[in-house]
Amino acid sequence: MAGLRQEPTARQLRLGVELRRLRDAAGLTGREAAASLGVNSSQINHIESGLTGVSEERLRRLAANYACTSEELISALVGMATSRTKGWWEDYRGSLPTPFLDLAELEHHATFLQEVQFLYIPGPLQTEGYARSIFSDRIPELLSSELELRVRHRMQRKAILEGPDPAPYEAVIHEAALHIRIGDRPASRTQLSALLDASETEHITVRVIPFDLDGFGGSWTAMMLAGGTVPRLDTVVRDGPHGAMFIDSEAQLGVFRTLFRRVETASLGPERSRELIHKLAKEL
């Protein structure tokens, strides 16, 4: 069918998922939802699969037919449906795997970001040298052109931290990640120095889970929680074998929110974390 998207973005897919969840909660079939709009059921299927868009007027009619009374949620879905942002990540379409683009788009629209890492410095806080060393160690080895694309993409992700109105960003990092030398000693020192500089920024919070913390088994679950316009639209991102994986079921979101609170509670406060990072940087 002409006009269908060949590869919907994660954001477009999420909109479809949320509309399907509303329909399921209302106990309506796709045929019944289609009848309320005067279209055929395949069109509802295409909307819910992210293969085609939906206008604000039709989205609001669907929400009304689904007995959704949350204007906050409806407005958030309208924003997802009508946003025409063509971000910097689109320059990489066809050059990098789609999950790289989806991650950048998710970060761009997030109302807050909370990240947990145990073995690496979080991506948005990485220096160019650190990122290049990570991508250089890939097996199978990346072509030099692809390596440079990935490094450049990772550096551009810093836009979420450096823009005119950045969202709050909190990173909880295990001390192990601060000791592991990604690259040589100077590169590690530069990375720790950059991490210290970032931690001094008003909207960035860096916390460290120290080695000598008693009784911390930890979840050992590296993740990022990206805040949606409403909590229901939050998303958890985890690393997968082929790039970022997006998790959005309410049950799983609850689990990861609890995990983040657990590691946050176990970590040092921002000032003590800076002191530890500074100490480790001086020892390099």
Q: Which residues are CB-contacts of 251 (< 8 A; sequence separation ≥ 6)?
A: none
Q: Is the pLDDT of residue 77 over 90?
A: yes
Kindly report, residue by residue over 196-229, the tens digit of the pLDDT: 999 999 999 999 999 988 767 666 789 999 999 9
Place of tokens 């020192």: 189
Judge contact between 155 and 128, C-beta under 8 A. yes
Q: Please tell me whether residue 223 adopts helix, strand or coil conformation.
A: strand
* pLDDT tens-place string over residues 149-198: 999 999 999 999 998 889 999 999 999 999 999 988 999 999 999 999 99
Helices (H), 4-127: 10-26, 30-37, 41-48, 56-65, 71-82, 98-109
Please say if the pLDDT value at position 1 is more than 50: no
May I ask the CATH class of domain 10-82? mainly alpha
Which strands, in side-by-side order, build the sheet including 204-209?
204-209, 169-174, 113-117, 223-226, 235-240, 243-247
Name the CATH topology of 88-283: Endonuclease; Chain A (3.30.870)
Domain parsing of the chain, residue ranges: 10-82, 88-283
- Asked whether this chain's domains 10-82 and 88-283 adopt the same fold, the reply is no
In this structure, are residues 265 and 207 in contact, taking their beta carbons and an 8 Å threshold?
no
CB–CB of 10/102 below 8 Å?
yes
pLDDT at 241: 62
